[in-house]
Structure 1
Amino acid sequence: MFTLHDYQREAVRFALHAFQTTGGCGLFLDMGLGKTLTSIAIMDICHAADPTLKFLVVAPLRPAKDTWAAELEKFKGLHSLDWAVCTGTPAQRRKALDQEATVTVINQENLVWLDTEMRRWPWRAVVVDELSGFRNPRAKRFRVLRRRRKGFDWVLGLTGTPAPKGLMDLWAQVFLLDSGAALGRTVTEYRRHWFTPGAHRGDVVFEWRPRPDAYREIMDAIGGFCLTMLAKDKLTGLPHSTVIDHMLDMPRPTRTVYDRLRRDLCVGLGGREVAASNAGVLAGKLSQVTAGCLYPGPDTPDAPVTHLDDVKLDELDSIIDRSGGEQILVFYQLVDELERLRARHPETRMVGEDGVVAAWNRGEVPLLAAHPASARFGLNLQAGGHIVVWLSVPWSIEDWLQGNARLDRQGQTRPVQIHRLVERDTIDTRKCRVLEGRLGLQDAIMGELGDAYDKA
């Protein structure tokens, strides 16, 4: 057994106790607190107690492919576990399964394949890395683990964002930990107990609103087997991070397009019409305009993207000029944003390129571009920089937190600058308000369960 930080040892003890009392544990540890290493320690202890025990680790693709293997390899002299990574082609996955390793790591997307490939699973313990990826009770991956749950001695769930969109996200995740003992065996039961219908049309409910006492009661119900830890509490030496909003004025021609699209749900550009058929499409189109472009409508899918302005790229240039040659991590939302960024800065490299992470950490990548969905998990970039720029503000709190945590995590030695490029009086400002609201709930949940454990 190897040396852990005190807070990691707390998490190990909590999990081992929860396995005995509940058969599952949620470790809601902030990004950068070492969830992977803590989980390896837990598996090592359990394997020492029962050498026949085998573990299945289910993770997003990048952590499954890279992070877990790297951490197991890094500490291989300090634990007794052998492992196989079950990713890639079907032939490569079958070869990994044939190893019959103590720890098998597979990505979430291949869980359904594994379910059909193997009728009887040899794994009696499961680690779900990024448990929030199982928050949808209708998803096939959730249904696989729900059906097989009774065959596991325990399930360990890891995430730093347990409720990215609200309390409704908790039911499916918690079910995998305790088979429904705390929050109900069905999502219908969960809703009936703690929620009331909000926005709806006939019998179709679009929003479920928590009852007045729901938050407190839910936290009490899961506090015995779910533990949260915040980086700001445990990593007292971590440099602080600062969010810097760059409030930009939309150029008048672009504003004309934006206002007309918002008012009329359609706008004529270059002899063709771009329309928004519903509120969701409208939000997407307005976001495109704030990014300086507008994609064609479904009636003319092969038409070119209309370029409107480069206000945000101009502001990025100002940030680059003031950065003193520091490397910058740039998040984009649209392919057109990326193409214009690379046309202006050919030195830009992409997350996902072979060797790019090592090059970044050596200081050889002036601009590293990433889509939030490709950089949520498994990227440790803190050694190479401390400046993040969001060309477009995301709606998702998970994208926001996980993206920033690529730099704002353990091992960072400088204060992290997080720059948001926001156009005034547009959907950008609404996105910022939505993020702040969701972040408030997220922090409350994380703090609540941590406080409960401290008191106990």
Structure 2
Amino acid sequence: MKFVPHNYQVYAINKILELPKVGLMMEMGLGKTVCALTAIDQLMFDFFEISKVLVIAPKRVAEDTWSRETEKWDHLRHLKISKVLGSQKQRLDALKEKADIYIINRENVKWLVDLYGPKWPFDMVVIDELSSFKSNKSQRFKALKKVTPLMQRVIGLTGTPTPNGYLDLWPQIYLLDRGERLGKTFTGYRERYFTPGRRNAYTVFTWDLKPGADKVIQQKISDICISMRTEDYLQLPERINNNIYIRMDDKAKLLYEQLEKELILQVEDEQITALTAAALTQKLLQLANGAVYNTDGNVTHIHDGKLEALEEILEFNQEPVLVFYNFKHDYQRLVDRFKDLKPRTLETSKDIADWNDGKIRLLLAHPASAGHGLNIQAGGHIIVWFGLTWSLELYQQANARLYRQGQTKNVIIHHLITEGTVDEDVLKALERKDLGQEELMNAIKARIRRYKNDGIN
């Protein structure tokens, strides 16, 4: 695909080229990753300023997102990526590969720093989700802090630099400028811009910003940080689709394939009916979501990939999120996993009012129950499809709960897609906007033929 950058993306790319240390505080959907990769490509192959790049990212992002972006855009396909993931041996082998960009998950930052020490080989470091270094007491921050003098260039990417307040900002900015703007120590930063809030004797539980301190902090970092909100740079309201791909581990993938084969091969005649296809695809969608009802009515667990992906979305987006689910066991798994957020459903008029007033952090809804007639666009602008639906009408109507007249922000719709499953078939059909019985049956027939061609009978 040809990359034709928006004006704001051109601005962000030029800032990376101009500044050795820069923070791109751009909301999800604005294209932080492609901006960073485009600048890396130019710095490496046009200006010859860098030769070896390290990307530090959340595990799922490290596994998939960066390599997927290089494959997506024509001008980036020549970039060689090595994923420093897995066991220690696998990580060491990945570091030995000749590549342009090395990607490691943030949990292994300390290991990497200890491995190289003063012989740090990376002349450019990209911290994808800079806010995950918001704690000055974390091992990952302390480790990376040691090698900041050895970094020629640093890019920090995040959409939520202050998820819990301005105290979170100091460690992130320190990794960019080594304390030049907000001070050399966290304690000094806190004393300069905050006053003790709730306390018990000598123990301070909360710190409050001094009057006007937020404006002073913003001004001090404005020369190296670019802050972009979605509604400021995209025509309002706009719908932004974001496909998040889930990779099952080997054990889960094997279990999925075994269960899929058992279901598919129960259909011996390829002239299947729509009713049969619908029943099969419902089972396959359950499998893709991570669990399925067995013949006894109990739930067989397969993987938690979608739960983990949703957890990351919630971690890096502190705004209300609407999650669409399809099956009862998915609802229960969501409630159990995120019980600390006190997820709600729309049962009463009070629930609707609370959502529209921003009082519900996580709203769970079945597309059939929330598909029509609800005016809830005031409550949020982020949708997550935990499990997709074959019904084009339900899909469109459910999205229209937030993507509708009266919405003041761009609506971001995240699709959680488990690779190698029927999820991909549904997504392709949704993108073509031609879902129907024929599409559904063709998907099942294709899977039947695949297994027969594999010699399974």
Distance 1:114 1:418 in 2: 46
Counting only pairs closer than 5 Å after superposition, residues 431-450 of structure 1 correspond to structure 2 as: none
Distance 2:87 2:362 in 1: 31
Q: 1:394 to 1:155 in 2, by over 3 A?
A: farther
Match of 2:14 in 1: 13
Which of 373, 376, 386 is the aligned partner of 2:311?
373
Per the TM alignment, residue 233 of structure 1 is displaced from its structure 2 partner at its CA by: 2.7
Q: 1:99 to 1:172 in 2, by over 3 A?
A: same
8 Å CA contact 1:124, 1:151 repeated in 2:
yes
Match of 2:262 in 1: none
Give the TM-score, by structure 1 length: 0.57
Matched, 1:172 2:209: no
Query: Highest relative contact order (Cα 8 Å, sep 6+), 1 or 2?
Result: 1
Question: Per-residue CA shift, 1:409-439, capped at 9, x if unaligned?
Answer: xxx98874789xxxxxxxxxxxxxxxxxxxx
Secondary structure of the residue that 1:37 maps to in structure 2?
A: helix
8 Å CA contact 1:58, 1:64 repeated in 2:
yes
Per the TM alignment, residue 328 of structure 1 is displaced from its structure 2 partner at its CA by: 11
Match of 2:21 in 1: 24
Per the TM alignment, residue 15 of structure 1 is displaced from its structure 2 partner at its CA by: 2.5
Counting only pairs closer than 5 Å after superposition, residues 132-147 of structure 1 correspond to structure 2 as: 132-147=131-146
Match of 1:428 in 2: none
Q: 1:192 to 1:143 in 2, by over 3 A?
A: same
Which of 60, 85, 88 is the aligned partner of 1:87?
85
8 Å CA contact 2:81, 2:100 repeated in 1:
yes
Give the TM-score, by structure 2 length: 0.56
Question: Per-residue CA shift, 1:208-237, capped at 9, x if unaligned?
Answer: 111001111111111111111122232326
Q: 1:417 to 1:87 in 2, by over 3 A?
A: farther
Match of 2:148 in 1: 149
Give me the identity figure in percent: 32
Distance 1:158 1:218 in 2: 18
Counting only pairs closer than 5 Å after superposition, residues 398-417 of structure 1 correspond to structure 2 as: 404=382, 406=384, 416=399
Matched, 1:130 2:129: yes
Q: How many corresponding residue pairs?
A: 300
Counting only pairs closer than 5 Å after superposition, residues 229-308 of structure 1 correspond to structure 2 as: 229-236=228-235, 239=238
Match of 1:193 in 2: 192
Per the TM alignment, residue 200 of structure 1 is displaced from its structure 2 partner at its CA by: 2.4
Matched, 1:55 2:53: yes
Distance 2:228 2:362 in 1: 19
What amino acid is aligned across from residue 40 of structure 1 in structure 2?
L
Match of 2:41 in 1: 44
Instruction: Return 5+ residue gaps in structure 2 as ranges.
Output: 241-281, 317-321, 326-330, 343-357, 364-379, 387-394, 403-457
Runs of 4+ in structure 1 over 6 Å off: 399-403, 412-415
Secondary structure of the residue that 2:39 maps to in structure 1?
A: helix
Distance 1:167 1:51 in 2: 34
Question: Per-residue CA shift, 1:11-48, capped at 9, x if unaligned?
Answer: 1122323x1xxx31111111111111111011111112
Match of 1:106 in 2: 104
Q: 1:206 to 1:372 in 2, by over 3 A?
A: farther
Distance 1:61 1:181 in 2: 30
Secondary structure of the residue that 2:102 maps to in structure 1?
A: strand
What amino acid is aligned across from residue 54 of structure 1 in structure 2?
K
Instruction: Return 5+ residue gaps in structure 1 as ranges.
Output: 242-324, 330-337, 353-367, 379-384, 420-456
Question: Per-residue CA shift, 1:335-378, capped at 9, x if unaligned?
Answer: xxx999xx9896997552xxxxxxxxxxxxxxx75674355589
Match of 2:249 in 1: none
Distance 1:191 1:42 in 2: 34
Distance 1:52 1:11 in 2: 19
Distance 2:55 2:39 in 1: 12
Match of 1:184 in 2: 183
What amino acid is aligned across from residue 199 of structure 2 in structure 1?
H
Distance 2:292 2:174 in 1: 43
Q: 1:107 to 1:209 in 2, by over 3 A?
A: same
Distance 1:130 1:400 in 2: 21
What amino acid is aligned across from residue 13 of structure 1 in structure 2?
N
What amino acid is aligned across from residue 114 of structure 1 in structure 2?
L
